[in-house]
Structure 1
Amino acid sequence: MVVEDEDQAKAHGGGATAVQRRPWRFNSPLAQVSLMGLVCFCCPGMFNALSGMGGGGQVDPTAANNANTAVYAAFSIAGILGGGIYNVLGPRLTLAAGCSTYVLYAGSFLYYNHHHHQAFAIVAGALLGCGAGLLWAGEGAVMTSYPPPRRKGTYISLFWSIFNLGGVIGGLIPFVLNYHRSSAASVNDGTYVAFMCFMSAGVLLSLGILPPNRVVREDGSRCSAVTYSKPSTEAAAVLRLFLDRKMLLIVPAAWASNFFYSYQFNNVNGLLFNLRTRGFNNVFYWGAQMVGSVFIGYVMDFSFKSRRMRGFVGIAIVAVLGTAIWAGGLANQRTYSSEDPPKEKLDFKDSGSEFVGPFMLYVSYGLLDAMFQSMVYWVIGALADDSEILSRYSGFYKGVQSAGAAVAWQVDTHKVPLMSQLVVNWSLTTLSYPLLALLVFLSVKDEDDDDEKQDKSSSIDPSNAAAAIA
């Protein structure tokens, strides 16, 4: 019999009994992580597609840069607090409140398309930053605590693939709707309306996310016997994160992981390519993210028996690939600058062989982004199994990440030389690799034997439960 809710769990020996395998169960980790992926497909996925067009689809990126600064400045605070808020409110209220702010943000650019007033976009960006902090704290808790301990990399790659499919579809929207407007200054109204429809669907889908104590794994165990916390308890727990050695070692990776977006979106995709080609490029940028997340997820879960060794190998692969891709970026950046931009925008149909090199570089940036962030999430997920702890860790990661992004968008607004931006991005990612390896060495344990014992104990027959306890 499948354990579907708490009362049934108690009736079957406290929820530790094995459940009958089914292809699909709504309260299974697979269903819940997939649903979380669909929520992020509709909201952050579409936001990424909107940002990936360069300047939010506008010819002048100033409004989008300032709006994104507001987004990530608010996100840097809300992200750190988001884990505590999630532990107080639970997943549904936290995620629905967060998702609703994405709709407003896309609507602000529809307004800007007609009136060219930045104020609405900036205010909407600040509200989105608060909402994103809630959404990503909830997402981090679901993605890192719901899966079985030995399959976290697989589930992270599943989530990342569904999430980034939103970027693929979101890239197709401006590409299709603006296909015959290659010389236009900004995308049309229909592009923003389409984004708003997807984001509204994300709000509704978020209501289907179950609390951790209602999610049942195949062995009958529950993800977390969580009792919702008090604000004072969460405030103290969040403050302690700033003194936690594990979190301090993650700071450079967190800061770097969104810092490069402004450079890639505005100064590679936005500066080198015309309007319709930006949408075309984003289809492959986010598609490459799906490939990268699946590959690194396999490495982190299946490459070696030792969990520590899988962590070291995953970090090494991302480090080598990242070095090669940023070196390619350096070669590309030497061909132009903000003072000497390309004389003619590249078009996927008309530019011939000149298009191929920058296009492949941009797609490679997407591949690296997914591998880098999936690898970091795996490390975070390996630090604990409890939903409450991981929601705080994820919130801290997203908060620091967003602080870096807020700085990066203003760096671009103030016209810092493009070569300097590239060197800083490359340096930040390079610094993070040895620190993540040290974190794996100090804090990630090889628990294969312990996991086997836990698997056996969680599969005890109900009829023998009393004897086992005695």
Structure 2
Amino acid sequence: MDFRTDEEPEKTKESPSSSFRYNSPLVQIILIGLVCFCCPGMFNALSGMGGGGQVDPTASNNSLTALYTTFALFGILGGSIYNILGPHLTLFAGCSTYVLYSASFLYYNHFHHQAFAIVSGALLGVGAGLLWAAQGAIMTSYPPINRKGTYISIFWSIFNMGGVIGGLIPFILNYHRSEAASVNDATYIGFMCFMALGAVLSLAVLPPSKVVRNDGTKCTAILYSNVSTEAFEIVKLFLNWKMVLILPAAWSSNFFYTYQFNNVNGVLFNLRTRGFNNVFYWGAQMVGSVGMGYVMDFSFESRRKRGILGICVVGVVGSAIWGGALANQIRYSGFYKGIQSAGAAVAWQVDTHKVSFMSQLIVNWVLTTVSYPLLLVLVMLAVKEDNNKTELETI
């Protein structure tokens, strides 16, 4: 997303002595991590059960299609709204839509009407665009320049702990209901309580003007460009060869969730063990984020070498995972190969139309594998060894 700074970092007269001050970047990153722990983290646990905790995934698939459709739009508009509302209102408005989404499945548990789930999914797409715009501004401007990888790994670990704890909720509350048609009301109420807590916590996140680093510098305020400028810049991105190389990685990064949640967790596990499996799924993301944070900050002095190593690690591990999935899928031989579309909204609809599990696995594996060599080309050609710069070389 396109953004600019409105001022250079200022330096206070005295350098703060502790990283654990309320107005320190570390504490603020932990706070935004806790907000995402409660909201998108719990959302991940909910969607990770497959079908939103329902045996029939149709309502969940349709709601997620609506969600990612509006998210695609408000992912662009979110930055401009952040400029107007600031971090508090942007985060609070975004978090509130997560509560509504969980409430829609509580409603569906009793009345089995999809309309509420679909509308709430569309509204959550709006809220998610707002939340991640604010999160992006915070993660970009608050951490010290030489520790961004570490701070991102701290955020990602806290955020994914939401999926771990959220996975325990359906596991515990449905322990004796493994053959039920859906998770019980208490499961959805539990998710709603965490999400409401996240909305309240979002009000504690400080604006950049009040955050001071340990060296005494103030964080630079991030200002996203306006809607018309940003829309024009996004069109230009498709003519930028660097962005074209990123497209497969960006496209595939959410595509695989449909297959993994609905067709692996939702089919191979019952209501009780879906939640337990979620604990390991999101826990593994925590471990991975810590490892990648180390690689990106400390493995090599050269930024290019760090980038190449990071892509190689992700490529090898990712290919091994899809290879294991293929070995698992062969218990289900006989499915025919189909053609998949792309993008998160399309992926959920693909599953609704009962495309075979084998086809979804193959497409996901190919999409992610194709992205690795393209990212390597990007790092080798575009990343410069100037440690004073934090972005890719501009054209």
TM over 0.5: yes
1:164 maps onto 2:160 in alignment: yes
1:289 maps onto 2:285 in alignment: yes
1:413 maps onto 2:375 in alignment: no
In structure 1, runs of 5+ residues without a counterpart are 1-9, 341-402, 452-470
Q: Find 2:301's aligned residue among 279, 298, 305.
A: 305
The answer on whether the counterparts of 1:84 and 1:235 sit within 8 Å (CA) in structure 2 is: no
Question: Which residue matches 2:385?
Answer: 446
Question: Which residue matches 1:256?
Answer: 252
What pairs with 1:6-405 in structure 2 (closer than 5 Å)? 14-15=10-11, 19-226=15-222, 230-336=226-332, 404-405=343-344
Q: Distance in 2 between matches of 1:201 and 1:307?
A: 39
SS in 1 for 2:212: coil
Q: Distance in 2 between matches of 1:72 and 1:201?
A: 24
Shift of 1:445: 2.8
What are the Cα deviations for residues 186-229 of structure 1, in whole angstroms up to 9, with x where unaligned?
Answer: 10001001100110111111112222233221112222145676
Structure 1 window deviating more from structure 2 (63-72 vs 216-225): it is 216-225
Q: Distance in 1 between matches of 2:59 and 2:260?
A: 17
In structure 2, runs of 5+ residues without a counterpart are 1-7, 337-341, 390-395
Q: Distance in 1 between matches of 2:52 and 2:225?
A: 39
Question: Which residue matches 1:437?
Answer: 376
TM-score by length of 2: 0.90
Shift of 1:324: 1.0
Shift of 1:436: 1.8
Shift of 1:431: 1.4
The answer on whether the counterparts of 1:157 and 1:297 sit within 8 Å (CA) in structure 2 is: yes
The answer on whether the counterparts of 2:76 and 2:129 sit within 8 Å (CA) in structure 1 is: yes
What are the Cα deviations for residues 398-418 of structure 1, in whole angstroms up to 9, with x where unaligned?
Answer: xxxxx8111110111111111
Amino acid at match of 1:267: N
The answer on whether the counterparts of 2:335 and 2:358 sit within 8 Å (CA) in structure 1 is: no
Amino acid at match of 1:276: R
Change (3 A) 1:225 1:119: closer
Which structure has the larger Rg? 1
SS in 2 for 1:181: coil
Q: Distance in 1 between matches of 2:332 and 2:378?
A: 39
Change (3 A) 1:119 1:338: farther
Shift of 1:137: 1.8
Structure 1 window deviating more from structure 2 (326-335 vs 78-87): it is 78-87
Change (3 A) 1:326 1:235: closer
Q: Distance in 1 between matches of 2:268 and 2:224?
A: 50
Kindly tell me the number of residue pairs found equivalent between the two proteins.
378
Structure 1 window deviating more from structure 2 (90-99 vs 195-204): it is 90-99
The answer on whether the counterparts of 1:88 and 1:229 sit within 8 Å (CA) in structure 2 is: no
The answer on whether the counterparts of 2:76 and 2:230 sit within 8 Å (CA) in structure 1 is: no
Q: Distance in 2 between matches of 1:310 and 1:117?
A: 50
The answer on whether the counterparts of 2:38 and 2:194 sit within 8 Å (CA) in structure 1 is: yes
Change (3 A) 1:227 1:406: closer
SS in 1 for 2:244: helix
Amino acid at match of 1:248: V
Structure 1 window deviating more from structure 2 (192-201 vs 17-26): it is 17-26
TM-score by length of 1: 0.76
Question: Which residue matches 1:378?
Answer: none
Q: Distance in 2 between matches of 1:444 and 1:210?
A: 32
